[in-house]
Structure 1
């Protein structure tokens, strides 16, 4: 178990039940928001530019699914539910992330924290960055400052990508997407577009920084009291918990995904960094708790984060 069982889940900013496309926003993949989502979608090895329709620039046929409703699913009430159900774990992790970053972002950077929205969807969803299907995996759209999750991905994270089934592996994914929101608030998210591929690219540096920000959340999540002076959201993290998070980071490294797809490792096509880099930058944030340790854009050696020296 990870969450304190008695914590109360607050579903503020969460919508659930979305599924049909209907009349969606029109945004080409090369648009400002669209390209960011393409880069983030590749977190899961999905090549959205290769003739797929996982994220489309136009309208799609209406699909099965329920209209989005405000609030978390009705069964998500406490930390015990978050420890049992994947969708509740996403909502509780989002609540923890908001609590941590609402304190740490202004404290460490002087920037005001604004909560992102969260949408739990099934199969397909409309976003301000275009229409997306579950093939994209969890993603963040900067145009509407919303993180989107189809929780069926978490099973795929284990079965397809070989990550641990531990809860912090899933929470790492949520925290990574939150990292992109922090980049949006700090004005850095656009760097991924200017230099979208390659081992030293802006895209890779953007993704590794999001991993580092995920580590910062993990550093504080079992220490910082929840609002109202209650217990921290998470029970004290164990070495096993951290190994679970690292297993997820390892599973979605560009080099590992290329090998698992039967292709040779080609760093020039990387968008997210190697498995080793992703693990190291998560650890850099986790060991330091400092935003200053996550400056991937100034790093001379992405294999040697300053937070681990």
Structure 2
């Protein structure tokens, strides 16, 4: 993926190296596969507070260094995030960018105490994307996802997709629908639709990345396939098999591997968020 030389947005809050508080018992290594099946690429907003309490409650606010990080990984997040914002500024009237926070192990958020074991996540309460960049290595080494730049950009774009859903009201509608749901299986179906839409939005961004950056940020041959490899690796059915359990579709919260690949591809092929109505079959 081409990204070096792309526009930097600045405004990244870098909390890495600040400690972040205690990690829940067992550490990230123990938690990652247990938690990842539910939290890969975004927390369901309706359960955020519940999970935060399990992981230690709300911590005191902390403030990192704002701007463009100096390391390559941080610069990558800044360039990709700026490009995603440029795409959505063109696609969504009144779009306002989310905040982006980089952290290690754990950090206080507007939704409670966030941990790396939860994967990258978006907090709707403070409209912030939280990224522990160590997740990329976990994603590749433990989950069999791609280590390519676009696979990592897909993670970021998916979380920005949750921000778009907050701006459009889709997230809030899902919360209300889940409250009315007759049971957990029905509530989970709404969660799946929300997550697949965020995948589709990631595809929309990828298709439009080059156009808004004069080609400075752009997919190269093979990049889309690496993204779909990652989408396949983090489907609920694949994660359930990896954890040694049986596949239980009623427990899906993010969608099957096939669904995640399909909606990422749909968004990319169309380049238009109008094709991302994943709620029709819920």
TM-score (norm 2): 0.82
**CA displacement, residues 118-150 of structure 1 (integer Å, 9 cap, x when unaligned):** 000111111110011111111000000000001
Residue 8 of structure 1 deviates from its aligned partner by 4.1
Structure 1 unpaired stretches of 5+: 23-37, 76-84, 107-111, 301-309
**Contact 2:105–2:116 (CA<8 Å) still a contact in 1?**
yes
Distance 2:119 2:211 in 1: 30
Structure 2 unpaired stretches of 5+: 22-34
Distance 1:219 1:153 in 2: 25
- 2:196 maps to which residue? 208
**Contact 2:237–2:249 (CA<8 Å) still a contact in 1?**
yes
**Contact 1:154–1:170 (CA<8 Å) still a contact in 2?**
yes
RMSD of aligned alpha carbons: 3.0
- 1:31 maps to which residue? none
**CA displacement, residues 99-119 of structure 1 (integer Å, 9 cap, x when unaligned):** 10001112xxxxx10110000
TM-score (norm 1): 0.75
Candidates 79, 103, 106, aligned match of 1:121: 103
**CA displacement, residues 50-97 of structure 1 (integer Å, 9 cap, x when unaligned):** x976864634599xxx8411112134xxxxxxxxx3222221110110
Distance 2:133 2:205 in 1: 20
Candidates 209, 223, 238, aligned match of 2:211: 223
**CA displacement, residues 211-264 of structure 1 (integer Å, 9 cap, x when unaligned):** 00000000100222x3xxxx23423532x1001111111111000000000000
**Change over 3 Å in CA distance of 1:216–1:44 after alignment to 2:** closer
**Change over 3 Å in CA distance of 1:159–1:119 after alignment to 2:** same
Residue 290 of structure 1 deviates from its aligned partner by 1.4
- 1:138 maps to which residue? 120
**Change over 3 Å in CA distance of 1:247–1:222 after alignment to 2:** same
Residue 40 of structure 1 deviates from its aligned partner by 10
SS at match of 2:255: coil
**Contact 1:281–1:294 (CA<8 Å) still a contact in 2?**
yes
SS at match of 2:164: helix
**Change over 3 Å in CA distance of 1:46–1:182 after alignment to 2:** closer
Candidates 1, 8, 14, aligned match of 1:16: 14
Q: Does 1:163 align with 2:145?
A: yes
**Change over 3 Å in CA distance of 1:149–1:171 after alignment to 2:** same
> Which deviates more from structure 2 when the two are superposed, residues 242-251 or residues 258-267?
242-251
SS at match of 1:234: coil
**Change over 3 Å in CA distance of 1:52–1:113 after alignment to 2:** closer
Candidates 71, 74, 99, aligned match of 2:86: 99
Candidates 18, 40, 43, aligned match of 1:43: 40
- 1:27 maps to which residue? none
**Contact 1:16–1:120 (CA<8 Å) still a contact in 2?**
yes
Structure with the higher helix share, 1 or 2:
2
Q: Which has the higher contact order (CA 8 A, sep 6+)?
A: 2
Distance 1:253 1:72 in 2: 32
SS at match of 1:70: strand
User: Superposition pairs for residues 63-74 of structure 1, below 5 Å?
Assistant: 67-74=63-70
SS at match of 2:15: strand
**Contact 2:58–2:108 (CA<8 Å) still a contact in 1?**
no
**Contact 1:166–1:244 (CA<8 Å) still a contact in 2?**
yes
